[in-house]
Amino acid sequence: MASDPTTRLQTLATAIHQHIQQTPDVRTGQKIDLPNITNTTYSPVLMGQQPRATQFIPTLLASPHAGAMAQVMALLAEVQSLLTWRQNPNYTVANVGQQFLDNFCHATLTSADGPLQGPTLPMGWFVLFGPHTLYKTHQHPPNEIYLAITAGGEWQLGTQDWQALNAGDALYIPSNTPHAIRTHAKPILTYSIWLEDADLADIEI
């Protein structure tokens, strides 16, 4: 794989975007359009203390994967050193609980502040959930797309029944729709894209 950080990250982001654009939303059957990934630049992000949930990354990377998600996981393994896993600073023991904080983290891939920046890129990041974790009902103004990179997670929109996503499934969540996520015996890795500019502080939980 190319050693240039911009090319490496762009290859990963392109693989994710192309898969989402080719994959109908599991609820509506509609395909979701995303901007092309061009004219990007790499901006290093300072490493901080690694969240506890990063302990599940080696297991996820070493697990067998099939199809397009095998390519995504292989590319992710190649760029691990360029990503920074962190917590949402607005999440505390008081509003989400210690068990959730110990089993949740995210790593931004595309955004206005790096590591991969571009004039038309939406904010996108990997989201990792440990076993037996509930991301309780929350909402936010941006329309969101979730890509299940690994299987085992379930999503709930509003009061609808919980829906399991297989690896490679995409789920569209309309603006300000309450939604929740839960895992069972295994950790899962997902990718989330916000289609409009916003801040993590805009999440109501």
Map out the domains of the chain as residue ranges. 5-202
Considering only CA atoms, which of 196, 198, 205, 201 is closest in space to residue 35? Answer: 196
d(CA 105, CA 125): 10
Tokens encoding 167:
């690896």
Q: What share of the chain is helix, strand, coil (3-state, %, to 5)?
A: 30, 25, 45
Residues 38-97: pLDDT tens digits? 888 998 877 778 899 999 999 999 888 888 899 999 999 999 889 999 999 999 999 999
Class of domain 5-202: mainly beta
Q: What is the pLDDT of residue 201?
A: 87
Considering only CA atoms, which of 139, 135, 134, 113 is closest in space to residue 125? Answer: 113
The residue ranges of the chain whose pLDDT is under 50 are none
Considering only CA atoms, which of 150, 133, 194, 120 is closest in space to residue 57? Answer: 150
pTM, 2 dp: 0.94
Q: What are phi and psi of 19, to 5 degrees?
A: -65, -45
